[in-house]
Amino acid sequence: MAEETRNSLDGRADAVVQAGRIGELHQHLYGGEAPAQPVPFQLPPAQVCFENRHDEQDRITRAIQGHRTQRGPLVVALTGIGGIGKTALGFHVARGLVDRYPDGVLYVDLDDLRRDGVVEVSDAVGELLTGMGVSPEWWERSLGGRTKQLWSRTRNKRMVVVVDNARYGTEVIPLLPASDHALVIVTSQGALYDLDGAAAVEVPVGPLAVDDAVRLLGHLVTDPRLTEEPDAAIDLARGCGGLPAALQVAGQWVRKYRRRSLSRLVAGLVAELHGKGIPMVEAVWDAAYKGLAPESARLYRLLPQLPGHRVLELPAAALLGCDPATAGDALEELESAGLLEGLAEGRRMHSLLRGHAERRARQEDDDGTERVRARRSLVAWYRRQAARADLLAAGPRMTFAVVPEPVAASVPDAELLGKPEALRWLESHRLALYGCVRLAFDDGLYEDAWALCEPLWTHFLDHPHYADVTDAFRTGVAAADRAECLPAMVRMRCQLARPLWEQGLYEEAAEQLRHALGAAAALGESPMELKLRASTVEFQGLLKAETGDWTGAAVDFEAAKAAHAEIGNVYGVLLQTYLLGRTALRSGRHEEAVVLLGEAHRMAGLQERERMTARAGFELGRALRLVGRPEEARPLVDAALDGARARGSRTDEVRVLEELASLADDRGEVRAAREHRTAASRIAIQYGGVSLEDQSS
């Protein structure tokens, strides 16, 4: 009867969860409405300056009014050259539609996730899931799995999704919500011809008309000269080509020279235009650049070396090799000049201005010395901060790169006060860290390249950004080979193997581990090298377990255990005992699992390893239940539940609740089983949107 009740409940619950009918499931389980979920709104604050675009907005309105159900979400593609104002228009439209689309606004910038021109779409889906309250630990591994999570969370939602800087329709299709009532606003420099099957409307965005451009200048800078010298204002607006990005710089430049007539300022631009044969827009940017203080001008030239799009004070100080106050002053001047955009999450440099800064750098640093020095300083700073964050987040562990000294006395370290802040720092700077791996490799800084990959391992375990981490670890392998550092050659291949097998690339993962084992055979006999050799064998066992080769996995774990015992590494012995017990449990050797997991649980307690004690206790409780000893299992599983809640791990809490439900089933406690399974379902719905499969820790 208990089994029948459980199957009935599970079947109905899973069906409605997969369909996204969260309110219905909550009604079914609890007899009330589901708790209100926060409505996402991921747009930046509205701009003070937004001019015209009435024709484009009218066309979007007509498309929304004419969109029929049963055709999926409406996709509005805003197309036009860079700097034309597509993103600003998309944001403006989305803000004006919040009443029509009350379920929220999501935003993802594909350029933030683009590497060598390619976007890892699964990470883009993950960004949208995060916006809907799904933390990375609940993401499915594959693109297909994450897309289903997105469909579940967006079914029948009246919401807007803004997808910025798309290049291909195939990048957009997996990001579409599963709702006929949703609107997707896509910005792209070219037409998206491969939006197959989507109800799409293209809205070309052209340059602002001269009158509109002049009015926008008036919004950007309150200056009587714009009305007193209308012809000069028209010439300036026309010279900016109707590009809002150029008008922003021009407005700040006009404001800076308040004592000069507008006619004189514009005449200077025209003279440069004719003298050098450069476009008017370039002349505007050159004029703004020439008005900068020397340190600000140097930072402007160096900012294109910064990976990612955010411009923060401490990395800027590392680029310049100066104190944060000096870097902060330079950033403020660049923002005041319109050469940087100030946003809540940090300043950004427009891609057009990035190109201009690169051209100025080539002109004034023709041999690249200044840029090389800045990149090396930046890479060294990030390597040091990442190593510090790793030590706080993961504690002392097997690493082979030393923590470097500060890059300069004037450039301070990031303030990292504890594990939570260290983990947040790694996540918030991940794009820069991944970029620095590539920068270091391209500059021949091979030790820096693989050393940066060590702390990225800690970040990866909690944040599965597979495209980024796979690319970085491949680069780490190549860097270790170039550096001819044998321990790094082994370690980097082990690190690369895991994201490969988690993506189902088992053969490639096995190939990496074959090379790692071959290199490990040449390691010396120091305790650290012996420990690394044992760890490599463990990785091979983990891969075998992942593919269901339980016998082979047990052989590897036994070999690794013996190696750790030989060098007196008690934690290594504990870990391999735990892995052997878990392998026995999953392969159906339950009595053997009880013995091994009992030993692992005992050792973890003696070593005061709190998390391993909880993990081993949970697995031991499951094994005891399966051999018919539920009374002994219950206190272990209860302790695991307390531990999961203390750590704030919702995924662990769900697994433990499901195990408690199974224990209650075996004891015939139908009501208790239902309560535990209901609690697990509620957490899964709240944090993940779909029921989770049982995951191994």
Residue 72 burial (CB count, 10 A): 18
Confidence of residue 274 (pLDDT cuts 50, 70, 90): low
Environment class of 255 (CB within 10 Å of its CB; exposed 0-12, middle 13-18, buried 19+): middle
Percent of the chain with pLDDT over 90: 51
State the SS3 of 454-522.
HHHHHHHHHCCCHHHHHHHHHHHHHHHHHHCCHHHHHHHHHHHHHHHHHCCCHHHHHHHHHHHHHHHCC
Residue 157 burial (CB count, 10 A): 21
**Which residues have CB under 8 Å from 157's CB, separation 6+?**
103, 104, 177, 179, 181, 182
d(CA 300, CA 291): 12
Q: At what angle do helices 121-131 and 466-483 cross, to 10 degrees?
A: 130
What's phi and psi for 105, nearest 5 deg? -130, 125
pLDDT in tens, 129-141: 988 888 887 888 8
Summary count for the chain: helices (H), strands (E): 32, 9
Q: What CATH number should be reported for the domain whose range is 54-204? A: 3.40.50.300
pLDDT > 60? residue 6? no
Mean predicted confidence (pLDDT) in 610-620: 91
The whole-number pLDDT of residue 581 equals 97
Q: Which is more confident, 412 or 207?
A: 412
The mean pLDDT value of the chain amounts to 86
pLDDT > 50? residue 20? no
Mean predicted confidence (pLDDT) in 338-364: 85
pLDDT > 80? residue 271? no
Q: Where exactly are the structural domains of the chain?
A: 54-204, 210-290, 294-366, 367-484
Locus of tokens 């993401």: 139
pLDDT > 50? residue 449? yes
Confidence of residue 454 (pLDDT cuts 50, 70, 90): very high
d(CA 205, CA 57): 10
pLDDT > 90? residue 3? no
pLDDT > 60? residue 4? no
Identify the sign of the CA torsion 470, 475, 481, 485: negative
The whole-number pLDDT of residue 52 equals 74
Mean predicted confidence (pLDDT) in 229-236: 84
Burial 131-156 (b: 16+ CB within 10 A, else e): bbebeebbbbeebeebbbbbbbbbbe
pLDDT > 90? residue 201? no
pLDDT in tens, 236-262: 888 777 788 788 777 777 777 777 788
Mean predicted confidence (pLDDT) in 444-472: 91
Token digits of residue 545:
């377990």
The whole-number pLDDT of residue 49 equals 65
- Position 335, amino acid: E
Confidence of residue 231 (pLDDT cuts 50, 70, 90): confident
Locus of tokens 């005061």: 608
- Position 320, amino acid: L
Q: Which is more confident, 330 or 286?
A: 330
Residue 167 burial (CB count, 10 A): 17
Mean predicted confidence (pLDDT) in 580-605: 96
Token digits of residue 287:
């004029």
pLDDT > 50? residue 8? no
pLDDT in tens, 629-681: 989 999 999 998 988 888 777 888 888 999 999 999 988 899 999 999 999 88
Beta-bridged to residue 201, according to DSSP, are 76
d(CA 5, CA 637): 22
Mean predicted confidence (pLDDT) in 328-344: 87
Confidence of residue 45 (pLDDT cuts 50, 70, 90): confident
Strands (DSSP E) contained in 388-447 are: none
Mean predicted confidence (pLDDT) in 534-542: 97
Q: Cα separations (Å) of 123 from 119, 219, 346, 629?
A: 8, 38, 21, 44
d(CA 292, CA 215): 26
Q: Answer left, alpha or beta for residue 277, where phi above 0 means left and psi between -120 and 50 means alpha.
A: left
Provide the 8-state DSSP code for 138: G
pLDDT in tens, 539-567: 999 999 999 999 999 999 999 999 999 99
The whole-number pLDDT of residue 324 equals 94
Q: Which is more confident, 408 or 412?
A: 412
Is 269 within 8 Å of 233 (Cβ atoms)?
no
pLDDT > 60? residue 12? no
d(CA 94, CA 105): 7
pLDDT > 80? residue 281? no
Mean predicted confidence (pLDDT) in 52-80: 87
> 1.10.230.10, 3.30.450.20, 2.160.10.10, 1.10.10.10: which CATH number matches 294-366?
1.10.10.10
d(CA 519, CA 509): 15
Is 322 within 8 Å of 374 (Cβ atoms)?
no
**Which residues have CB under 8 Å from 88's CB, separation 6+?**
47, 50, 244
The upper half-sphere exposure of residue 87, i.e. CA atoms within 13 Å in the direction of its Cβ, equals 18
The whole-number pLDDT of residue 650 equals 81
Mean predicted confidence (pLDDT) in 370-376: 95
* Lowest pLDDT segment from 166-175, 197-206, 485-494, 500-509: 197-206
The whole-number pLDDT of residue 36 equals 52
Q: Answer left, alpha or beta for residue 68, where phi above 0 means left and psi between -120 and 50 means alpha.
A: beta
* Start-to-end C-alpha separation, the chain: 31
Mean predicted confidence (pLDDT) in 277-295: 81
Mean predicted confidence (pLDDT) in 592-606: 96
H or E element in which residue 105 lies: strand 105-109
* Lowest pLDDT segment from 223-227, 443-447, 607-611: 223-227
Token digits of residue 291:
């008005």
**Which residues have CB under 8 Å from 549's CB, separation 6+?**
none
The whole-number pLDDT of residue 83 equals 79
